[in-house]
Amino acid sequence: MVTGIITAVITGALIGCVYSLIALGIVLIYKTTQVFNLAQGEMLLIGTWLTWTMITVANLPFWLSLIIALLFSILLGMLIERFILRPMLGQPLLPIIMITIGIFSLLRGISIYFWGGEVQSFPPLFPIEVITIGFIPVSTHLLAAAIMATLLVIVTYAYFRFTRGGLAMMATAENVMIAQSLGTNVKAAFSRSWAISAMVGTLSGVLLGSIMGIFFGLSDLSFKAFPVIILGGLESIPGVLVAGPIMGICESLGATFLDPMVGGGIGDIVPYVVMLIVLVIRPSGLFGYKIIERV
Amino acid sequence: MTKKKMYCLISVVITLSLVLGCISCAPKAAAPAEKPAAKRTVTVTVGALLDESGPTATSTLPGVYGLRDFNDYVNKKGGLDWSGGKVIVQVEEYDNRYDPSLSLPAYEKWAARGIPLIITHQSTDNLGLKDRAARDQIVILTLSPTSGALMPPGWVFATYPSYADSFTGFLDWVKKTWDWKGKGTPRVATLTWDTAYGKAHMCAVDYAKEIGIDYVGTEYTTTLPTDITPQVTRLKAMKADYVFTQAVTPIAVYLKDFKRLGFNGRLVVGLNTGLSEWIPIAGVDTAAGTLSVKGLTMISAEPEDSRYMKKAREVTEFLGVTRDLRALTFYPNGTSGIMLIQDIIVRALDKVGDPDKVTGKVLYDTLLETKKYDTLGATMPLSYDETQRRGSMGIRMYEAQPDGNVTMIQDWMVVHDALKHYPECAK
Amino acid sequence: MRLPSGTYNVSYEKDMAIIRTRTQWSIFILFILFLFLLPLIPGIGSRYVLGMVNMALIWVVAVLGLAILTGFCGQISLGQAAFMACGAYTSAILMTHLNISFWLSMPIAILLTALIGLFFGLPALRLKGLYLLMTSLAAQYIITYIILHIPALTHGGEGMKVPLAHLGDFAIVSATSNYYLILINAILATFVAVNIGRSQIGRAFVAIRDNDIAAEVMGVDITKYKLMAFAIGCGFAGWAGALSANNSQVISVEQFTLMHSLWFIGALIVGGMGSVLGTILGVMFIRILFEGSATLAPVMARMLAGEASIGSIGQLVFGLAVILFLIFEPRGLNHRWQILKAYYRLFPFSH
């Protein structure tokens, strides 16, 4: 029983780190542009496909393929921002959500057009598949996801907090006009945020692809990241790292203890129920900004 | 507004509606003009409701390729031979993105035009259209054997056994090949999706008990899990020897977690799940020993000199398309379907002599007369009769080998009819 | 509304009337007549076109609910399809297990869905914008999950056969009879929606949308009206669901997915939020886009000789259409229509 709980907690935390990676990309964009990017899953997928193409078609070594794919994804992010989101500046929330859905559809069409619907695989990323921690065998990929999530969160947090570029991006989110009048290059800030988010997406996608295989269903995983973002707080980067594992643990504990009672599949629902509770009790999440409304 | 303007407006409205009416009159399916002469080329059109860009497109697309290739091949060579000349079978595809509410208008469109046969690939379509098809007398040939649509026998036909049948067939194989003396009673469990598709085989679980096999438990996972530790832990506790699954996309994760947690049970993937594509992702030694039940031949394991592969290569070469045939798991779905359709259309034409007379009812009767139709080894030879809508009741078993290849370990064997014996399955 | 010269409003009723002059009445009556005589027009009256029109009209009812909830009242909901599912399944369950006739089960389904909507609307009292969106997303998933997990009632994921509605002995099963059923309901729904918009309730909704704190300060009971908006909006969804159940005769959760909720929002935005006409135009646009991409995509893909391209063309065109529409006409088709009307009215002047 106790071993069951400990296993569930540890594996759950690791699964949650995978969600954190995806969530990080969405939070990064939201932090700068106040746009909730529903298309993150597809951006992730295209970056992963690009890496795969470089490896299999161009026969480049893994690290080089990854770098090229990252550069491409930066370009993709910037293109999307410049041509699709820039014209939507100042629009209310709903059209912006709808346009990210449009981007989702568009990118899905592109990914199926170029890479088809079949499943492909990466060459193995790590020499060993399993590392045993104590008595629990843990998948190396998940461990790698956890490490990458932590690193990326630290790096991006530091970027936002300590560099001029990052601070400029936060200022833009606060109030675009004031930031602009104080000399911030707002357009560049927007571009940067989408570019960084696309890069983070590609990195997480590559990891996901090596766990589950690369196929177009991967983008549906991004919907699992939404509860993580709400729990952590929409604008909070460290929040993502805290909320991800928590959600993963909830899902895992749910699967361990509730599944036998309900007949299974409750793992899909637990994050949403938790999210609902969070929204009712404390909508800004653990670390998000509380919005004070004035009339 | 003056009276004159009002009359003007009214006449504009009426004209517009008449014009619109005439435009939609235009695309009515019609056989080309009849010539009373002896040899001529006629066309028969069938419809196809396929998910080509939605969630299940990965499974549908290879089948679509098979359908198109084998049809284009015949058509480009001038068509099929019948007693009155040649016939071209046109397949009109419609992408319904797995959404039944999109299928309905397409069905209505085809019904209005008198299309005699519709190809489907989706359980929800099969169930939803079954009654309508019976009323409108349109044959539905499904590439996905939904039990509820195939039994009680109606106007829905399949070319291979249902998921429940595949499970009973697998159990028969276990009974046949298990070392009863040495290892005692075999234990079978399920690890699958918590959806109708995932549970499609569960209605036949009682068969295990009937033949002396222990069915020890059922586990469910989410659609795309990254980790299934709790489920595997429970499977280990159940000491399952075989774990049957209907899930399609998380196979790599299943296999990896089995290995990671030291679970020795063998995963058995169901009818519509591929195996070869998951081997490189899971790892060759992790995947070794995995079994696959198939109602259609597994194209990745077909020897190059088999009748089927030779034909497939001939077709793709003739058409000039490059296909990685061995990666297209569901290619045989499409080819066996279209071959059957071609055959019954030819036989129907021979009976009625005129493409306009090839109605759904004629094709229905022709199907029921079909006995032992050879699909080049893609399935067991297909036979239909008053009580049987699944053309083939045979399955093959495949196993993933330590060298990464998949080989056939059991050639066609007839399954225990689950739909007949377990009324739960036929709902 | 611009009135022709010589027409004066001498009473309150005349001032408030939507259809004011005799010309407008005649056009209106002709239009209604046209709608009722549609099945008789050769070509248009075919099963195919009627089938499409039926689906479109059902969507109109559902999106009208969304127009009231999101368009008038500003409460974003991504769960409209799930509420439709509630209505559809309730109606089907009542008819199957309790043998209640369709004419009673549909109103009950509407009421029940309104109640469920009320429940999921409770978070709206505390949340706005993106957070409310997340709540409705959770509602979409949770409702679908519940439907899938009470197989005794709903047959789980297999889908459920819906008993047909009967008018005496006549079964409403053909495309034409369904058309009349759905048409009457759609006209009724439009009537209700338009009048809600013009009533005190509608004004309260708009006030809440524009600034709910200010509205509260001015005396609008936002608790009552927000919950009412959810109840009405989801009630419409239940209405559409019950009609959809009779139309398709088999219901399953795949007909009511998140993607459907998103298409509803798309139809709302494309048509122009906050107007009933916009809703109708938006639904027509999206349905035509659907049909077009579903029929043309396989054809185009074959012509382009691409193989994997079949599936992608449909999605691509769809995404592109939505994006272009939102960039170039974010106020929707309704706005374009108003401009067109003004152009006609003012021609050759520009203002």
pLDDT tens digits, one per residue of B278-322 = 888 888 888 899 999 998 888 888 888 888 889 888 888 888 887
For residue C6, give every residue at least 6 positions away whose Cβ sits within 8 Å of its Cβ, in sequence order, or none.
Answer: none
Side-chain-side CA neighbours of B361 within 13 Å: the count stands at 5
Distance, CA of B272 to chain centre: 8
| Number of residues that make up chain B | 427
Going by pLDDT thresholds of 50, 70 and 90, the confidence category of residue B24 is very low
In angstroms, what separates the C-alpha of B110 from chain C's closest C-alpha?
8
pLDDT of residue C297 exceeding 80, the answer is no
Q: Which residue of C has its CA nearest to B60?
A: C311
Whether A115 sits inside 8 A of C308 (CB atoms) is yes
Q: Which pLDDT does position B3 carry in this prediction?
A: 66
Whether A269 sits inside 8 A of C145 (CB atoms) is yes
Whether B106 sits inside 8 A of C250 (CB atoms) is no
B331 touches C: beta carbon within 8 Å: no
The class (CATH top level) of A2-281 is mainly alpha
Beta bridge partners of C294: none
CB pairs under 8 A between B and C: 144
Q: Which pLDDT does position B30 carry in this prediction?
A: 37
Write down the mean pLDDT value for chain B. Answer: 83
For the structural domain made of B40-161+303-392, what CATH number should be given? Answer: 3.40.50.2300
A264 touches C: beta carbon within 8 Å: no
- Arithmetic mean of pLDDT, A21-46: 91
Instruction: Tell me the whole-structure pTM to 2 decimals.
Output: 0.86
Whether B427 sits inside 8 A of C155 (CB atoms) is yes
Using alpha carbons, list the distances in angstroms from residue B201 to A84, B151, B161, B186: 47, 15, 12, 18
Contacts of A279 in chain C (CB under 8 A): 123, 127, 131, 134-135, 138
Q: Which pLDDT does position C112 carry in this prediction?
A: 95
Beta bridge partners of B156: B140
pLDDT tens digits, one per residue of C123-139 = 888 888 888 888 899 99
Whether A130 sits inside 8 A of B260 (CB atoms) is yes
Q: Which pLDDT does position B36 carry in this prediction?
A: 44
Going by pLDDT thresholds of 50, 70 and 90, the confidence category of residue C304 is low
- Arithmetic mean of pLDDT, A142-169: 90
More confident residue, C204 or B376: C204
In angstroms, what separates the C-alpha of B233 from chain A's closest C-alpha?
9
pLDDT tens digits, one per residue of C227-256 = 999 999 999 999 999 999 998 888 888 889
pLDDT of residue C122 exceeding 80, the answer is yes
Contacts of C250 in chain B (CB under 8 A): 100, 124, 127-128
Q: Which pLDDT does position B167 carry in this prediction?
A: 92
pLDDT of residue B19 exceeding 60, the answer is no
Range 204-263 of A in CB contact (< 8 A) with C:
223, 226-227, 230, 234, 262-263
Handedness of CA B271, B273, B277, B282 (dihedral sign): negative
Q: Which pLDDT does position C311 carry in this prediction?
A: 57
pLDDT of residue B35 exceeding 70, the answer is no
- Arithmetic mean of pLDDT, A128-145: 80
pLDDT of residue A15 exceeding 90, the answer is no
Q: Which pLDDT does position B260 carry in this prediction?
A: 86
Best mean pLDDT range from A190-194, A289-293, B120-124: A190-194
Q: Which pLDDT does position C81 carry in this prediction?
A: 94
Q: Which pLDDT does position B16 carry in this prediction?
A: 62
Contacts of A213 in chain B (CB under 8 A): 249, 252, 277-278, 281
More confident residue, B223 or C36: C36
Cβ atoms of residues C91 and C260 within 8 Å: no
What ranges do the domains of chain A cover?
2-281
Identify the CA nearest to B115 among candidates B97, B86, B94, B101: B94
For chain C, give the percent of residues with pLDDT over 90.
37
Q: Which pLDDT does position C305 carry in this prediction?
A: 52
Going by pLDDT thresholds of 50, 70 and 90, the confidence category of residue C187 is very high
Q: Which of A98-107, B143-152, B408-417 has the lowest mean pLDDT?
A: B143-152
Contacts of C315 in chain B (CB under 8 A): 53
A233 touches B: beta carbon within 8 Å: no
Range 83-102 of B in CB contact (< 8 A) with C:
93-102
* Chains near A (3 or more Cβ pairs under 8 Å): B, C
pLDDT of residue B195 exceeding 70, the answer is yes
For residue B393, give every residue at least 6 positions away whose Cβ sits within 8 Å of its Cβ, in sequence order, or none.
Answer: B161, B165, B380, B414, B415, B417
Q: Which residue of B has its CA nearest to A12?
A: B227
Going by pLDDT thresholds of 50, 70 and 90, the confidence category of residue C181 is very high
Q: Which residue of A has its CA nearest to B283?
A: A124
For chain A, give the percent of residues with pLDDT over 70.
98
Q: Which pLDDT does position B28 carry in this prediction?
A: 39
Q: Which residue of A has its CA nearest to C136?
A: A276
pLDDT tens digits, one per residue of C78-101 = 999 999 999 999 999 999 888 888
Q: Which pLDDT does position B22 carry in this prediction?
A: 46
Q: Which pLDDT does position B31 carry in this prediction?
A: 36
What ranges do the domains of chain B cover?
40-161+303-392, 164-294+396-426
In angstroms, what separates the C-alpha of A137 from chain C's closest C-alpha?
32
Whether A101 sits inside 8 A of C142 (CB atoms) is no
Q: Which pLDDT does position C309 carry in this prediction?
A: 53
pLDDT tens digits, one per residue of A251-267 = 888 888 887 777 666 77
SS3 letters for chain C? CCCCCCCCCCCHHHHHCCCCCHHHHHHHHHHHHHHHHHHHCCCCCCHHHHHHHHHHHHHHHHHHHHHHHHHHCCCCCCCHHHHHHHHHHHHHHHHHHCCCCHHHHHHHHHHHHHHHHHHHHHHHHCCCHHHHHHHHHHHHHHHHHHHHCCHHHHCHHHCEECCCCEECCEECCCHHHHHHHHHHHHHHHHHHHHHHHHCHHHHHHHHHHHCHHHHHHCCCCHHHHHHHHHHHHHHHHHHHHHHHHHHHCEECHHHCCHHHHHHHHHHHHHHCCCCHHHHHHHHHHHHHHHHHHHHHHHHHHHHCCCCCHHHHHHHHHHHHHHHHHHHHCCCHHHHHHHHHHHHHHHCCCCC
Range 320-359 of B in CB contact (< 8 A) with A:
327-328
pLDDT of residue C200 exceeding 50, the answer is yes
- Arithmetic mean of pLDDT, A105-125: 81
Q: Which helix (H) or strand (E) holds A224?
A: helix A222-232
Q: Which of C76, C134, C316 sits opposite A230 (nearest CB)?
A: C134
Range 46-105 of A in CB contact (< 8 A) with C:
84, 87-88, 91, 93-95, 97-99, 101-105
Q: Which pLDDT does position B7 carry in this prediction?
A: 67
Fold match between B40-161+303-392 and B164-294+396-426? yes
- Arithmetic mean of pLDDT, C313-328: 82
Whether C158 sits inside 8 A of B20 (CB atoms) is no
Whether A113 sits inside 8 A of C323 (CB atoms) is no
pLDDT of residue B404 exceeding 50, the answer is yes
Write down the mean pLDDT value for chain C. Answer: 87
Going by pLDDT thresholds of 50, 70 and 90, the confidence category of residue B328 is confident
A61 touches B: beta carbon within 8 Å: no
Range 139-158 of B in CB contact (< 8 A) with C:
148
- Arithmetic mean of pLDDT, C290-317: 67
Using alpha carbons, list the distances in angstroms from residue A62 to A51, A74, A122, A125, B207: 8, 18, 9, 9, 49
Q: Which pLDDT does position C307 carry in this prediction?
A: 52
Which candidate in A3, A121, A222, A258 is best for mutational testing of the B interface (most B CBs within 10 A)? A121
A90 touches B: beta carbon within 8 Å: no
Which candidate in C30, C38, C47, C177 is best for mutational testing of the B interface (most B CBs within 10 A)? C47
pLDDT tens digits, one per residue of B359-376 = 888 889 888 888 888 888
Using alpha carbons, list the distances in angstroms from residue A65 to A47, A51, A62: 10, 5, 5
Q: Which pLDDT does position C61 carry in this prediction?
A: 96
Q: Which residue of B has its CA nearest to C31?
A: B13
- Arithmetic mean of pLDDT, A99-109: 89
For the structural domain made of B164-294+396-426, what CATH number should be given? Answer: 3.40.50.2300
Q: Which of A97, A113, A276 sits opposite C308 (nearest CB)?
A: A113
Range 107-146 of A in CB contact (< 8 A) with B:
108-109, 112, 116-122, 124, 129-130, 137-139, 142
Range 277-296 of B in CB contact (< 8 A) with A:
277-278, 280-281, 283, 286
pLDDT of residue A46 exceeding 60, the answer is yes
CB pairs under 8 A between A and B: 118
- Arithmetic mean of pLDDT, B121-137: 83
Q: Which residue of B has its CA nearest to A4?
A: B230
pLDDT of residue A140 exceeding 50, the answer is yes
What distance in Å separates the CA atoms of residue A187 and residue A179, rounded to the nearest whole number? 11
pLDDT of residue B33 exceeding 60, the answer is no
Q: Which pLDDT does position B25 carry in this prediction?
A: 41
Q: Which pLDDT does position C67 carry in this prediction?
A: 94
pLDDT of residue B56 exceeding 80, the answer is no
